[in-house]
Structure 1
Amino acid sequence: MSMALADRRPRPVRAAAEPGRGSLESFFAGLAPDWHSRWAWDHYEATILALAHQFGLRRVCEVGGGRDPLFSPEEARRYGLDLVVNDIDAGELALTPKGLRTARFDIAGDLSEPDIARGGYDMMVSRMVFEHVQDVERAWTNIHALLAPGGVGLAFVPTLWAPVFALNHVLPEKASRAIVHALFPARREGGDDPKFPAFYDWCRGSRTRLAPMLKRAGFSDIHVQPFWGHGYFDRMPGLRQVDDAFNRLAARIGFEALTTYAYVVVRKER
């Protein structure tokens, strides 16, 4: 195994006791996620693998995977996944590693593209994609149509109204792009991780807020896992400590209006 693959190996998480059984709420109760968003980033891949194991999911579509898919071809084979990488942009799909299948379609579109496979996926996942979608309710409705019975959808999203994302939401795109370039020059310069306009439609960390919309999309088994904290101030001593204390307090009292990230997870009825 190469060093790159070793570095990306998912960290283990605890799955529910009976494979194929239980609700999403009970599944996440078994995982016992930490409140800080570091857990969300560190355990994203492992959570997907645990969901796949728990609910018997093999055919996976990564929405917006483009140039940076969740798993390499070797990892997908090792974990027994039939992975399809989706993107709306042909240029992004052209950068998908060789050996992975691709599907070009708009997750919030009319599902008329040739690459559409209704009911053809056991799991649909996305990471930092839904904040760029202008009609998220339609996207979830489409995910319901694309999932097979018993299939799972997971969107890892930044949420409003965390101050850092609220600022990104209200600032002109040119200004927010300049701030991101200043904070993360290695990630954003040179085209390795381009910044796209963000709309934050339905990007929230509250199940109470999201459940009515997700039920309209067709789902009844719903879990929203909130996270607080972020790394935007890691190079700003003083501000970092104040912000961490603020987020720690918000997490302790369960103040979901100020989450920074969330896993939004749904399961289609069998």
Structure 2
Amino acid sequence: MSLATAAVGGTRSSQLSPAKATGSVASFFRGIVPDWHSDWAWDHYEPTILALAHQFGLHRVCEIGGGRDPMFSRGEAARHGLELTVNDIDAGELALTPAGLKTARFDIAGDLSEPDIARGGYDLMVSRMVFEHVGDVERAWTNIHALLAPGGVALAFIPTLWAPVFALNHILPEKASRAIVHALFPARRDGGGAPKFPALYDWCRGSRSRLEPMLNRAGFRDVHIQRFWGHDYFKRMPGLKQADHAFNALAARIGWDFVTTYAYVVVRKDKA
């Protein structure tokens, strides 16, 4: 049983256990056959990471922007054979990292001069809902290339423009978009929950033709963009919910990159 199979359980687990994949990240995703809807992306984020680690023999993992809510506890990481380092730019967020996990404070889009930098020190770098807050995403990917060991993999789970819900968030003043998020998801954003940071959406797109040249400049040749459509922002709005689902289902069926809602941006560094 693979790490991914053990992680997801149930009938859907076999989707994350490709029988045989070549060395490319694109062939890996062809093997696991993701669904078009973003529910799959959220439900299978951790299992996909475990499957990548298993498929490509990756052990030293850095979670970018993990802060207070890393994907695995120390015990879970150990059970999966992973050496997990939790990264964040904010010392306050890192102070909330669960006990026992290694932390590293640095700006992924910075100059890599911070003491916690480990060039070539990670086999796998991952992030979830982080890159939309980064001001210079191309520099971040260039830095990820420097931080990955040869043959290392990076996966960024991002919201994308121009999905209407994120286009609105991008266009509205931050005060207005914050109020809308609080109204739609009070449990997520109020009190001690995850804070809402300003979203910039630099290079947050679901189109391979748009992203690949930038990722090539960052040093990557093995590139895959796994596109997803749909969201749960309208789940309390009957009528609008159904209309939006129909729109996204059609966009997925015809492969309309312009209105993807989320994407996994996945790259692999050349082997030495």
TM-score class, shorter: over 0.9
Give the structure 2 partner of residue 107 of structure 1. 108
User: Which stretch of structure 1 is more off in the superposition, 97-106 or 189-198?
Assistant: 189-198
Instruction: Report whether the alignment pairs 1:145 with 2:181.
Output: no
2:220/2:269 contact within 8 Å kept = yes
Matching of residues 92-131 of structure 1 within 5 Å: 92-131=93-132
* Mapped partners of 1:268, 1:151: distance in 2: 5
Matching of residues 6-45 of structure 1 within 5 Å: 9-10=7-8, 12=13, 13-18=15-20, 21-45=22-46
* Mapped partners of 1:10, 1:45: distance in 2: 9
Give the structure 1 partner of residue 252 of structure 2. 251
* Mapped partners of 2:8, 2:261: distance in 1: 22
Q: Can you give the 5+ residue segments of structure 2 that lack an aligned partner in the other structure?
A: 1-6
2:20/2:31 contact within 8 Å kept = no
Give the structure 2 partner of residue 212 of structure 1. 213
* Mapped partners of 2:40, 2:59: distance in 1: 24
Q: Deviations over 1:83-133 (max 9, x none)?
A: 000000000000000010000000000000000000000000000000000
Matching of residues 164-203 of structure 1 within 5 Å: 164-203=165-204
Matching of residues 78-97 of structure 1 within 5 Å: 78-97=79-98
Q: Deviations over 1:167-225 (max 9, x none)?
A: 00010000000000000001100031100000000000111110000000000000000
* Mapped partners of 1:17, 1:153: distance in 2: 22
* Mapped partners of 2:109, 2:205: distance in 1: 18
Give the structure 2 partner of residue 231 of structure 1. 232
Q: Deviations over 1:51-74 (max 9, x none)?
A: 000000000000000000011111
2:109/2:136 contact within 8 Å kept = yes
Q: What displacement does 1:49 show? A: 0.3
Pairs aligned (count): 261
2:229/2:260 contact within 8 Å kept = yes
* Mapped partners of 1:123, 1:31: distance in 2: 19
3-state SS of paired residue (1:52):
helix
* Mapped partners of 2:203, 2:75: distance in 1: 34
Residue identity opposite 1:78 in structure 2: R
Residue identity opposite 1:145 in structure 2: A
* Mapped partners of 2:228, 2:16: distance in 1: 18
Identity over aligned residues, as a percent?
A: 78
3-state SS of paired residue (1:191):
coil
Residue identity opposite 2:183 in structure 1: A
Residue identity opposite 2:174 in structure 1: E
3-state SS of paired residue (1:17):
coil
After TM superposition, what 4+ stretches of structure 1 lie above 6 angstroms from structure 2? none
* Mapped partners of 2:259, 2:169: distance in 1: 15
User: What TM-score does the superposition give when structure 1 sets the normalisation length?
Assistant: 0.95
Q: What displacement does 1:15 show? A: 3.2
* Mapped partners of 1:174, 1:10: distance in 2: 38
